[in-house]
Amino acid sequence: MYAVIEVGARQYNVKKDDIIEVEKQKTGKAKEISIDKVLLVSKDKKIEIGQPYIKEAKVIVEVLGNIKGEKITSFKYRRRKSSHWEKGHRQQLTRLKIKSIELAG
């Protein structure tokens, strides 16, 4: 069984016990959250597609914590101008573990 879920502006193909890293979520102190933006669910050989979401379907995830992604550096150099700059950025992410995919009906 797998599902396609929407978290933030991205879509993820997930199944039970997968660990995904998504944009930082406001979870507070919750250890477990429910994602109800489920776009597609495949169970056995039956596929159910939402328009845009499947009603009464949800994915239960465990919040493993907030982390930072890899550092991305941006560098601009202008020859003969004595001008250059370098910037670094680390995206803040939330690591989630998929506990279950629930489909009503």
Residue 83 forms part of a structural domain: no
Write down how long the chain is. Answer: 105
- Are β-strands 46-49 and 19-23 bridged in parallel, bridged antiparallel, or unpaired? unpaired
* Domains: count for the chain: 1
- The one-letter amino acid code at 92 reads Q
Residue 71 forms part of a structural domain: no
pLDDT 10s digits, 6-63: 999 999 999 999 999 999 999 888 899 999 999 999 999 999 999 999 999 999 999 9
pTM for the predicted model, two decimal places: 0.84
Residue 58 forms part of a structural domain: yes
Residue 42 forms part of a structural domain: yes
Residue 8 forms part of a structural domain: yes
Residue 52 forms part of a structural domain: yes
Which residue range is the domain that position 17 belongs to? 2-66+95-103
pLDDT 10s digits, 64-90: 999 999 999 999 999 988 899 999 999
Residue 77 forms part of a structural domain: no
Is residue 95 within 8 A of residue 21, CB to CB? The reply is: yes
Please classify residue 42 by burial: count the beta carbons closer than 10 Å to its beta carbon, then call 0-12 exposed, 13-18 middle and 19+ buried: middle
pLDDT at position 105: 65
Residue 72 forms part of a structural domain: no
